[in-house]
Structure 1
């Protein structure tokens, strides 16, 4: 019993130190946790929709007109209320992780200009998490009050995508110093990466249009976009092929120029995730969009987004934060070049 108590105490102490006396490692862990919880609540939000629980709690901020928690309500089943209320509770987990990111970023001791203060850009990125959660909560209230209008539902999803991007940027920057960024790939390849990122963003927008036009509205009372479902589905598929083509071109260019192995591996992972996502998309289309495959498709969309962000951030580097990280970076990215320098293989910058 004493040993168990000591283990619990040690774990509690370590947890407290992770955000109150943080290191670069623990800061990155909190940032990664923020990526995970934001992606998780995006998928569970889709679960609310496909289970027809979007109005399981018909009011906001209360669950029912008279209660903040699920209560007897003639118009909604206990199951639907539990699903919707459970998703609302997950918001507090995302908020808690966001607050921990802010605390860790503010208190992170960095040897910058001799002042030992947390780096300002990291603090700004961290603050986007709790602020984003509050914005999402307020927008979620609008979603309920508009009876799941497809526009408000679409924006709700896209806000989560934006929060994932901010969380990943925080994760990437947490382990970097403040030196100017240095390219690891040819300038044109890096530009192609940004084009790919924009194409994936467009793909996500097209995806929510398809979702807002098709079935699984979240409730029988919800409205739908007035588009033809065949037309928007085909447009979405066309953008998918553009994204896959850009990714293949990026992967080919990275191998052709002998870019760093970790960048090539990240691009290969992205390509694999896109292919898997494409298979799920076509299967769900031909099977009349079953709920389980919709959930997998939403999960796949978040993974495509995160994988694309990873590729873009790995294409450049900065001096690492500490000497130990500097040693690791020197071993894996010794061919990094300043943005102003010539590109690999003598190409122009």
Structure 2
């Protein structure tokens, strides 16, 4: 299919962005996927804090007799609309993931590394949709609800790596800082993942279960909150250490700015966390905290991926100087 070249038409520009992609448009779709996956994680928390977790009490249908919300004697229509609206957002996330796959398939020359990362998106979204059925059928068991968010973190990671890799070559990995700083970055990612898991446990222990029928972890909420805070201190400390080391070692400005942004996001998230605790966990701050969690994860990924790069893939020895100049 040949698309018209009318660049003034927004629809044509949109179609060309994935049917006749450039590196820039490939990265644009990858960033869009980061945004929509982070967004649906936040709206999923919105379903929980509004008590709409079982607004659609069956899966894949909303009610036993209908795929769309209809009057049900045991469920509020508002709760049903909230839950159904979040289900509909899955199709938006899937559409963006499909655009990433098409763009990776159509990119010339095709890059298998990008295609593999792109395929993770629709595959992960389908997994999320199926897991949503498990969540409903287990009546919002805190483990299944928590895994929903962990899967979202994994999808965001794949989307971010697609964004980063689309702006690089396929040559060997090259450090832009000392190897010990890269190791510190990896430790920071592991600690941040532990922070996310601790936050999931706190959420599964505290209020806002999503429905009166939902169970909770049989844990001491204060002890879990303290553990979560301790891991947060560790993450902030590691991020500060990384930022300090990057400055004193004369690391590239991109890496220093990424680490500084990660520290700022983490500190803001800490303020939100303590505020919601002292205000008895109001729903609005829970949503803000979930948004903060996704931003902390993305900012840490950004800081860590800024510590390395890949050059263009080296040409075979039998390539002529003219071919080499054309590739460059």
2:119 corresponding residue in structure 1: 127
CA positional deviation for 1:55: 0.3
Check if 1:37 corresponds to 2:36: yes
1:146-161 correspondence to structure 2 within 5 Å: 146-161=138-153
**Number of corresponding residues:** 309
CA positional deviation for 1:7: 8.5
Judge conservation of contact 1:168–1:306 (CA < 8 Å) in 2: yes
CA positional deviation for 1:182: 1.1
Judge conservation of contact 2:7–2:13 (CA < 8 Å) in 1: no
Name structure 1 gaps, 5 residues minimum.
1-5, 111-117, 322-349
Judge conservation of contact 1:175–1:320 (CA < 8 Å) in 2: no
1:86-235 correspondence to structure 2 within 5 Å: 86-110=85-109, 118-235=110-227
CA-to-partner distance for each residue in 1:241-289, whole Å, 9 max, x for gaps? Answer: 0001101111110011010011101101000000000000000001000
Judge conservation of contact 1:213–1:227 (CA < 8 Å) in 2: yes
1:343 corresponding residue in structure 2: none
Check if 1:57 corresponds to 2:56: yes
1:342 corresponding residue in structure 2: none
1:276 corresponding residue in structure 2: 268
Matched residues in 2 for 1:76 and 1:279: separation?
36
CA positional deviation for 1:72: 0.2
1:338-349 correspondence to structure 2 within 5 Å: none
Matched residues in 2 for 1:145 and 1:23: separation?
43
Judge conservation of contact 2:57–2:136 (CA < 8 Å) in 1: yes
- In the superposition, the TM-score normalised over structure 2's length comes to 0.92
Name structure 2 gaps, 5 residues minimum.
314-328
Judge conservation of contact 2:6–2:12 (CA < 8 Å) in 1: no
Matched residues in 1 for 2:6 and 2:56: separation?
40
1:339 corresponding residue in structure 2: none
CA-to-partner distance for each residue in 1:300-332, whole Å, 9 max, x for gaps? Answer: 0000000000011111111259xxxxxxxxxxx
CA positional deviation for 1:175: 1.4
1:68 corresponding residue in structure 2: 67
Matched residues in 2 for 1:86 and 1:139: separation?
17
Matched residues in 1 for 2:308 and 2:139: separation?
44
